[in-house]
Amino acid sequence: MVIWGFAVAILGAMSVQLFHIITSDNRLNNNLDKAQAEAQLLKLENGQLQEDIDYFSKPENLTKEFKAKFDYKKPGEKLIKIQ
Task: State the Cα–Cα distance between residues 83 and 75, nearest whole angstrom.
Answer: 22
| Mean pLDDT across the chain | 91
Convert the pLDDT of each residue in 11-21 to its tens digit. Answer: 999 999 999 99
Task: State the Cα–Cα distance between residues 29 and 19, nearest whole angstrom.
Answer: 15
Element (H, E) at 82: none
Q: Where are the domains of the chain?
A: 2-66
Are 61 and 55 contacting, i.e. CB atoms less than 8 angstroms apart? yes
The whole-number pLDDT of residue 72 equals 75
Is residue 57 predicted with pLDDT exceeding 90? Answer: yes
DSSP 1: -
User: pTM of the full predicted structure?
Assistant: 0.58
The whole-number pLDDT of residue 19 equals 95
Is residue 26 predicted with pLDDT exceeding 80? Answer: yes
